[in-house]
Structure 1
Amino acid sequence: MRLIERVWFYRDNARYWLVPLLLPLTLIFALLTRFRRWCYRIGLKKTQQLSEPVIVVGNIGVGGNGKTPVTLSLIELAKQCGYRPGVISRGYGGKAPHYPYLLTSESTAVESGDESYLIYQRAQVPVCVGSDRIAAGNKLIELGCNLIIADDGLQHYRLARQCELIVVDAKRMLGNGLLLPAGPLREGKARLQKADLVIFNGVETLATEQLNLLNSVDGRYLLERTITMRLAATKVVNLASKQVMSVSEFTKRFSSVNAIAGIGDPARFFTTLTTIGLDCQHSRGFVDHHHFQASDFADYDDNIPLLMTEKDAVKCQGFAKDNYWYLTVDADFEPSAQEKLTSLLVKLNIGK
């Protein structure tokens, strides 16, 4: 893990000197972001309304918090409610030939970005990427989508939205609670007040730490708009052969694996592998959105399964070996949480 992330999220002596050094930059960042929000509030900058409802799935901090699994679940719920959903995203890390870029069967993760490509493959709905979310959303509406789901983009205030879902990592929470770069936050915790739903990823029920955060922001009112979820491992897929195994079948066949992860919190993936009964002989974390190359795996034994996340797998298909596998995970919501999500979707349709 990078030094700055240890300072943000974990106990590290460097915080005593690094955080004070970064606080002046944090002050500048805070002033700039507040001025930007103020410009939208008084009308100096204009928000733009799409002709179809928009749901934003985002977070107030940096790093992976579980937004993509939430987006995938939201897509399925939207279909059940009769919507024709489409997804817009910035396509972080991608290098598309043009923007807005509509994914097709010929697209690659290099062009669209790993998360956008994963959503397109898994959900089989229209996905359009580009920094101009308005243009991307309009392109999907032209295709017949009547619900636009923005994967990330909580701070993209130019795009008007009817609903906001904010995902919080229940393990790392808000780190040291400071704005960038002294802390991991792009917006302060008070931003949670404006969310239609706050989703804590990684717990079945709210613990003291989460309750204290909610109480420090908005007390009982925010608690009514909070749900929890866990990421459930569902199956294991071979990159080369496309063979699919259940998790139980895989763990019976292979007790030991090597593992890599290029996500916001690699340790969470490695913990998941241990939880399902696998012994990780060698695990290595990469920075989020790392562009994998075959040379990254030169030191791994080809006779032992190499297990990775689905997000990493979309970037390794071109050089996959027979021992490369990826684990798929889905957002696991309690029935009451699914009811809250469904209720939000139904209200969007009523409001049209």
Structure 2
Amino acid sequence: MSFIEKGWYKQSRIASTVLLLLSPLSLLFYAVSTCRRFYYTKWVQPKNAQPLIVVGNISVGGNGKTPFVIWLCHELKQQGFNVGVISRGYGGECDNYPLSVTAETPASLCGDEPKLISQITQCPVVVGPNRNANIQMLNQAHNIDYIISDDGMQHYAMARDVEVAIVDAKRMFGNRWLLPVGPLRELVSRLKSTDFVIYNGQPDLSPSHDVDSYQLIAQQPINIQSNQATDFAAMPHAHAICGIGNPQRFSNTLKQNRINTLSFTAFSDHHHYTLADFDKFGDEPVIMTEKDAVKCAAFAKPNWWYLPVAVEMPEDLKNRILKKVINVGKEYGL
């Protein structure tokens, strides 16, 4: 955890004190973001041709949005709908946007999360900083019923029909300050205007708080080269690496599934891997997240593994989400 994050999540009194010196910047951030939201929502947002669902959050860092997006894609496809996904494509560097993600598109161009979504769901995915341009490209190339935006809650130039806010149940909202003093992009009160506030994991709240939540359940480790799964008990001791927003979650998952690690290395989120990152491991086994694996597949060794996760959604919550989304679709004639 970086010095700044320790301050955000109250892990260091010194860091918290230093960050408070930046409070005027947080006030400026609030003023600019509030004016920007008012401007776009009142005058600029174009009307979409089909229902658009934003899966986002109000804080920076990994909250578990991408597994939820993948889950929602699968659920809507099972209902017989054609689903497309748009994303900013963080971590990717491309000269020309928007970019349509295909099986041949490297994660270095489109970003690790869009690549993973495309690979798992087989839904068309378009990335780029201008989400309205992404929508236009998606519609030009595909017959789409629903569009899901992976992140983009604060991208107010884009109209939306359903908002799902994902909250990390362990880190919650940190010190509840806006950037840069805290991890928030918007105030916690913003959640009152969303359709769903869903916690990734079970938050430590009083019994009087009835919240919606899902669990990320680890699946069997899969060999990156052979794509073959192995039992947890048969998984060899391995060096663990990850480049995600919340490395502690991956570490906890490994421990919960009794995967013994020789070491644990956390890179920055969306890290661009090279073989040099693995030199210190020699020929010993390595295990990583599925998001990391899409960037390492081209040079993976035979004893490199990844640990996929799947969303375990309560039936009642699943039904409420689908009812809301499908009812919105009916307004568009679906």
Measure, in 1, the Cα distance between the counterparts of 2:6 and 2:159.
Answer: 35
Query: What is the CA distance between 1:210 and its match in structure 2?
Result: 9.3
Task: Give the match for residue 148 of structure 1.
Answer: 147
The answer as to 2:291 corresponding to 1:293 is no
Task: Give the match for residue 184 of structure 1.
Answer: 183
Query: What is the CA distance between 1:42 and its match in structure 2?
Result: 4.2
Q: Is the 8 A contact 2:3 2:15 kept in 1?
A: no
Q: Is the 8 A contact 1:270 1:280 kept in 2?
A: no
Task: Give the match for residue 205 of structure 2.
Answer: 208
Query: What is the CA distance between 1:176 and its match in structure 2?
Result: 0.4
The answer as to 2:119 corresponding to 1:130 is no
Measure, in 2, the Cα distance between the counterparts of 1:241 and 1:172.
Answer: 35
1:157-236, aligned counterparts within 5 Å? 157-203=156-202, 207-208=204-205, 226-236=211-221
Query: What is the CA distance between 1:72 and its match in structure 2?
Result: 0.3
TM-score (norm: length of structure 1): 0.90
Q: Is the 8 A contact 1:177 1:184 kept in 2?
A: yes
Query: What is the CA distance between 1:127 and its match in structure 2?
Result: 0.3
Query: What is the CA distance between 1:24 and its match in structure 2?
Result: 1.3
1:258-277, aligned counterparts within 5 Å? 258-277=239-258
Residues 332 and 235 (structure 1), Cα distance of their counterparts in 2 relative to 1, 3 Å cut: same
Q: Is the 8 A contact 1:255 1:277 kept in 2?
A: no
Bigger CA drift: 120-129 or 334-343? 334-343
Task: Give the match for residue 49 of structure 2.
Answer: 51
Query: What is the CA distance between 1:326 and its match in structure 2?
Result: 0.5
Q: Is the 8 A contact 1:88 1:150 kept in 2?
A: yes
CA RMSD for the aligned pairs?
A: 1.6
Q: Is the 8 A contact 1:170 1:210 kept in 2?
A: no
Task: Give the match for residue 219 of structure 1.
Answer: none
The answer as to 2:74 corresponding to 1:76 is yes
Q: Is the 8 A contact 1:292 1:315 kept in 2?
A: yes
Residues 301 and 74 (structure 1), Cα distance of their counterparts in 2 relative to 1, 3 Å cut: same
Percent identity over the alignment is: 41
Give 3-state SS (helix, strand or coil) of 2:160's partner. coil
Task: Give the match for residue 33 of structure 1.
Answer: 33
- Any stretches of 5+ residues in structure 2 without a counterpart? none
Task: Give the match for residue 223 of structure 2.
Answer: 238
Q: Is the 8 A contact 1:62 1:185 kept in 2?
A: yes
Query: What is the CA distance between 1:302 and its match in structure 2?
Result: 1.7
Task: Give the match for residue 90 of structure 1.
Answer: 88
Residue-pair matches, total: 331
Q: Give the partner amino acid of 2:248.
A: A
Measure, in 2, the Cα distance between the counterparts of 1:2 and 1:322.
Answer: 32
Runs of 4 or more consecutive aligned structure 1 residues displaced over 4 Å after TM superposition: 209-212
Task: Give the match for residue 336 of structure 1.
Answer: 316
Query: What is the CA distance between 1:13 and its match in structure 2?
Result: 2.1
Query: What is the CA distance between 1:174 and its match in structure 2?
Result: 0.3
Q: Give the partner amino acid of 1:13.
A: R
Residues 280 and 266 (structure 1), Cα distance of their counterparts in 2 relative to 1, 3 Å cut: same
Task: Give the match for residue 220 of structure 1.
Answer: none
Query: What is the CA distance between 1:227 and its match in structure 2?
Result: 1.6
1:96-115, aligned counterparts within 5 Å? 96-115=94-113
Q: Give the partner amino acid of 1:288.
A: D
Q: Is the 8 A contact 2:81 2:146 kept in 1?
A: yes
Q: Deviations over 1:37-56 (max 9, x none)?
A: 2223443xx00111011000
Measure, in 2, the Cα distance between the counterparts of 1:22 and 1:312.
Answer: 33
Q: Give the partner amino acid of 1:48.
A: P
Q: Give the partner amino acid of 1:158.
A: A
Residues 209 and 113 (structure 1), Cα distance of their counterparts in 2 relative to 1, 3 Å cut: farther
Q: Deviations over 1:299-318 (max 9, x none)?
A: 11423x21000111111112
Give 3-state SS (helix, strand or coil) of 1:106's partner. coil
Q: Deviations over 1:215-268 (max 9, x none)?
A: xxxxxxxx6xx52011011122211222223xxx1x222352210111011111
Q: Is the 8 A contact 2:46 2:159 kept in 1?
A: yes
Bigger CA drift: 280-289 or 162-171? 280-289
Measure, in 2, the Cα distance between the counterparts of 1:241 and 1:42.
Answer: 52
